[in-house]
């Protein structure tokens, strides 16, 4: 069995961003040479997420509205975590809701998606460097 590892780096200017990373994951899969196996993609920071869904602008606005309703950024005093001097308590909760990682089957050298599925990076506390790990195993 072979193994391949690659990191993506993000540093968004916006506090909240949803970025389609499907192409970058597909590129890593091509680089790996793996034809059959599994592809793990995970956010390596506790205020960011990796998830699978549809790339549709109305859905993105729905996510933004829904997450802000569930865990609004302000007032920052509402979060005990922010008593440590941070202002990102909401981002930790948003990450928990959206998830840390995805695993996609690799079949015949391609990501084995269902209809409309794509991989996204969710940033909930932007403005600094963060990493996403791609780990592919198989043959």
Q: Which domains does the chain have, with CATH numbers?
A: 2-138 (2.60.120.460)
From the DSSP assignment, how many helices (H) and strands (E) are in the chain?
A: 3, 8
What is the Cα–Cα distance from 71 to 66, expressed in whole angstroms? 9
Tens digits of pLDDT across the chain (139 residues): 999 999 999 999 999 999 999 999 999 999 999 999 999 999 999 999 999 999 999 999 999 999 999 999 999 999 999 999 999 999 999 999 999 999 999 999 999 999 999 999 999 999 999 999 999 999 9
Angle at which helices 89-98 and 57-70 cross, to 10°: 130
Its pTM surpasses 0.85:
yes
pLDDT score of 121? 98
pLDDT score of 120? 98
pLDDT score of 18? 97
């Amino acid at each position: 069995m072979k193994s391949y590892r690659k990191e993506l780096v993000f540093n968004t200017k916006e506090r909240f961003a949803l970025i389609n990373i499907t192409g970058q994951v597909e590129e890593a899969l091509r680089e790996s040479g793996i034809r059959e196996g599994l592809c793990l993609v995970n956010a390596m920071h506790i205020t960011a997420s990796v998830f699978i869904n549809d790339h549709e602008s109305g859905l993105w606005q729905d996510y933004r509205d829904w997450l802000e309703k569930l865990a609004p950024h302000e007032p920052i005093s509402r979060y005990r975590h922010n008593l440590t001097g941070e202002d990102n308590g909401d981002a930790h909760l948003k990450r928990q809701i959206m998830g840390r990682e995805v695993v996609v089957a690799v079949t015949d050298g391609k990501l084995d998606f269902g209809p409309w599925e794509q991989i996204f990076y969710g940033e909930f506390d932007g403005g600094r460097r963060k990493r996403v790990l791609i780990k592919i195993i198989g043959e």
